[in-house]
Amino acid sequence: MIELLLPPLLAGLAVALVSGPMGAFVVWRRMAFFGDTLAHGALLGAALGLALDISLYVAVVAVCLGLAAALSGLQRQRQLAGDTLLGIVAHTTLALGVIAISLQTGIQVDLFAYLFGDLLAVGWQDVIGLWVGAIVILLLMLWQWRALLSITVNEELAQVEGIAVQRTRLLLMLLLALLIAGAIRTVGVLLITSLLVIPAASARRLTHTPAQMAAVASVLGTASVLAGLAVSWFANTPVGPSIVVAASSLFVLTLLRKPV
């Protein structure tokens, strides 16, 4: 049993660990819908990866970055609000992704696995890739922590104080795209945002500093993965949704505590 469960467990933990700090930034910068849009686009990336027979991760990251660039371009026009644009782009890319996947001939593709995750199917190769990715993302975030936090507090103050605001914002976007590519296998494109937002939101009520909030979010995310996997194993429920429900349950528990 342990040989069966170990790869999914390690894969889920890698994703949960990075989702803590990244999710904190998503919450602070109000990027939840933006992250969701990138995740929806990831399905299109996965379809392109299959069609062109290239690495799924490379294709997903490329599509996410392209989307991020297109969105920041679209947001220059002022007639439509940001969330309207995101709504258009998110669901258009999702629809295109579903169509593209359904057009694949030859191999049978399980759409459900992309939408809601297929953690139990990951192998050791995925585990190694996810941990390398996780460590790279965490190190980059640690290295640029002050810059990332500065542009989150106030971009103009950060710029005046000599922080390369554009470059830092681009770095955050790139790391988010990397994380989304990695997280597809865990919870699927429809549920990725929840793994980012819910543990960070739960951590808000328990912490006093940004670093604490990021760390506690990692811990809560990790606990959610463990609990979700356990429930899935014993009750035979789908893994991705089980992890999300576990995370939400933790969030509800934190609501019982008085805010600090």
Binding site for another protein (CB under 8 A): 27-30, 146, 149-150, 152-154, 156-157, 159-162, 201, 204, 207-210, 212-213
Please give the helix or strand (H or E) that residue 197 lies within, else none.
helix 192-204
Residue 195, classed as helix, strand or coil, is: helix
Least distance (Å) from another protein to the CB of residue 53?
Answer: 42
The Cα 126–Cα 193 span in angstroms is: 21
Query: Minimal CA–CA distance to 195: which of 134, 160, 244?
Result: 244
Structure tokens at 70: 């297109």
Closer of 33 and 131 to another protein (Cβ):
33
CB of 211 to another protein, least distance (A): 9
- In the complex, what is the shortest distance from the CB of residue 161 to another protein, in angstroms, rounded to a whole number? 6
Task: Please report how close the Cβ of residue 249 comes to another protein at its closest, in angstroms.
Answer: 21
Q: Which among 2, 129, 1, 113 has a CA at the least distance from the CA of 47?
A: 113
For the bound state, the minimum distance from the C-beta of residue 183 to another protein, rounded and expressed in Å, comes to 21
* Longest distance between any two alpha carbons in the chain, whole Å: 56
Nearer residue to another protein within complex by CB, 66 or 210: 210
Q: By C-alpha distance, which of 257, 173, 162, 159 is closest to 216?
A: 257
Question: How many Cβ atoms are within 10 Å of 234's Cβ, its own excluded?
Answer: 8
DSSP assignment letter at 76 = T
The answer for residues whose C-beta is within 8 angstroms of residue 122's C-beta and 6 or more apart is 7, 8, 11, 130, 185
Collapsing DSSP to helix, strand or coil, 174 comes out as helix
Comparison of 145 and 233: residue with beta carbon closer to another protein? 145
The smaller minimum CB distance to another protein, of residues 29 and 223, is found at 29
Q: Which is nearer to another protein, 100 or 201 (CB)?
A: 201
What is the smallest separation between the CB atom of 154 and another protein, expressed in angstroms?
5
Number of Cβ atoms within 10 Å of the Cβ of 107: 6
CB of 70 to another protein, least distance (A): 23
Q: In 236-245, which positions are buried (b, 16+ CB within 10 angstroms) versus exposed (e)?
A: eebbbbbbbb
144: which residues sit within 8 A by CB, 6+ positions away?
168, 171
